[in-house]
Amino acid sequence: MTAGSSNAQPVWHPVRPERARDLTDARLQLHHAAQIVTAMGISYLPKQSDDSHTNLGWLESISALASHPVQAASSIQLAVRPHPFALLLLENGETSASFALDGRTVADAAAWVKDCISKRGLDAAAFTLAKHYTIPSHAVGESASFDASDLQAFDELSAWFSDSAQVLEATVAITPNAAPVRCWPHHFDIASLVEVAPGKTVGFGMEPGDVYYAEPYFYVNMYPFPDAAPTSSLPGGGSWHSHEWIGAVLPGSRLGRDGQREQLTAFVNAAISEATRTLLR
């Protein structure tokens, strides 16, 4: 929050709707880089049945996705910052080292991580990039170098994660039993989940792009899926998705240039309400 103004909202970073469909390459590179950060949880934290040891949190102070802390000589976290594109090493919450990813490979980054953590008391031999899930392919996953030359694309992704965290955390704050907002490294969405009845959940979040929409989009989904999508209208340009899963979506290209926070908030709140009503019928 802004110093001296306890009621001030976090800074909003307006996204460019016209660029929403131009972020695929940068998003895939960021997704692969995030796996290096997730490796901290896989390598050093107890395995959790819901995979929560692997998830990441958005830290607005450094504009980066960070791992859970790992205790060594100090509390260590690894983070990936979209813009400027880099890995960051945090000790007791403060950045102590960084590694620019542009022009470097995943192997280069992993070697840097191992050097950093071994100097801080962790067993570098235990650090592994092996994971129990697959992610979309990209050349960087086959030893190609990261390429952050499209600076605006990486800056846009940073804004998407920052703004999404703000909208989602505000929603969690007014939603009983909602889980903390975290980024899940498999699908790469930043999201929360709330159980609205035994065995019935509503999930809400932002997916930076996938096989369904080649652009960032906000979503609200339901479990178990209903037999058919609701027919109610949604504010802010939202619509109902019914291919392979049922939920509400608001693709980034439908955002206005102004009032984005209000547009996204109205969509998420309305979609959560409708999804909850659908599950409880």
State whether 121 and 166 are in the same domain: no
Query: What does the pLDDT average to over 118-125?
Result: 97
**What pLDDT does residue 271 have?**
98
State whether 135 and 166 are in the same domain: no
State whether 207 and 250 are in the same domain: yes
Residue 9 within a domain: no
In single-letter form, the type of residue at position 163 comes to D
Last residue of a domain, one of 142, 177, 195: 142
Query: What does the pLDDT average to over 70-93?
Result: 97
**What pLDDT does residue 28 have?**
98
Question: What sign for the dihedral angle of Cα 49, 167, 97, 84?
Answer: positive
Rounded CA separation 263/50 (Å): 32
Confidence of residue 7 (pLDDT cuts 50, 70, 90): low
Rounded CA separation 27/33 (Å): 10
The whole domain housing 156 covers 151-280
Confidence of residue 70 (pLDDT cuts 50, 70, 90): very high
Name residues whose C-beta falls within 8 Å of residue 208's C-beta, 6 or more positions apart in sequence: 23, 27, 30, 31, 157, 160, 161, 188, 189, 216
Query: What does the pLDDT average to over 173-194?
Result: 97
- Angle between helix axes 151-173 and 260-280 (nearest 10 degrees) is 50
Residue 3 within a domain: no
In single-letter form, the type of residue at position 103 comes to G
Q: Which residue, among 73, 13, 68, 12, has the nearest Cα to 43 in the 3D structure?
A: 68
- Identify the three-state secondary structure at position 114: helix
Last residue of a domain, one of 142, 175, 194: 142
- Identify the three-state secondary structure at position 169: helix
Residue 175 within a domain: yes
Residue 2 within a domain: no
Residue 46 within a domain: yes
Task: Give tens-digit pLDDT for 17-64.
Answer: 999 999 999 999 999 999 999 999 999 999 999 999 999 999 999 999
Query: What does the pLDDT average to over 125-147?
Result: 98
State whether 103 and 216 are in the same domain: no
**What pLDDT does residue 9 have?**
77
| Average pLDDT score, the chain | 96
State whether 132 and 164 are in the same domain: no
State whether 135 and 163 are in the same domain: no
Residue 76 within a domain: yes
Name residues whose C-beta falls within 8 Å of residue 231's C-beta, 6 or more positions apart in sequence: 240
Rounded CA separation 206/136 (Å): 17
**What pLDDT does residue 10 have?**
85
- The pair phi, psi for residue 222, each rounded to 5°, is -130, 150
The count of structural domains within the chain is: 2
Q: In this structure, are strands 200-207 and 247-251 parallel, antiparallel, or unpaired?
A: unpaired
State whether 52 and 91 are in the same domain: yes
Rounded CA separation 271/250 (Å): 10
Cis omega (within 30 of 0) on the bond before 84? yes
Residue 8 within a domain: no
Last residue of a domain, one of 87, 108, 142: 142
Query: What does the pLDDT average to over 169-174?
Result: 98
Residue 86 within a domain: yes
State whether 27 and 138 are in the same domain: yes
State whether 247 and 272 are in the same domain: yes
Q: Which residue, among 224, 186, 188, 227, has the nearest Cα to 203 in the 3D structure?
A: 224
Query: What does the pLDDT average to over 232-236?
Result: 97
State whether 118 and 172 are in the same domain: no
- Angle between helix axes 24-44 and 151-173 (nearest 10 degrees) is 60
**3-state SS string for 42-87:** HHHCCCCCCCHHHCEEEECCCCEEECCCEECCCEEEEEEECCCCEE
State whether 157 and 125 are in the same domain: no
* pLDDT at position 4 over 90: no
State whether 128 and 217 are in the same domain: no
* 146 DSSP assignment: P
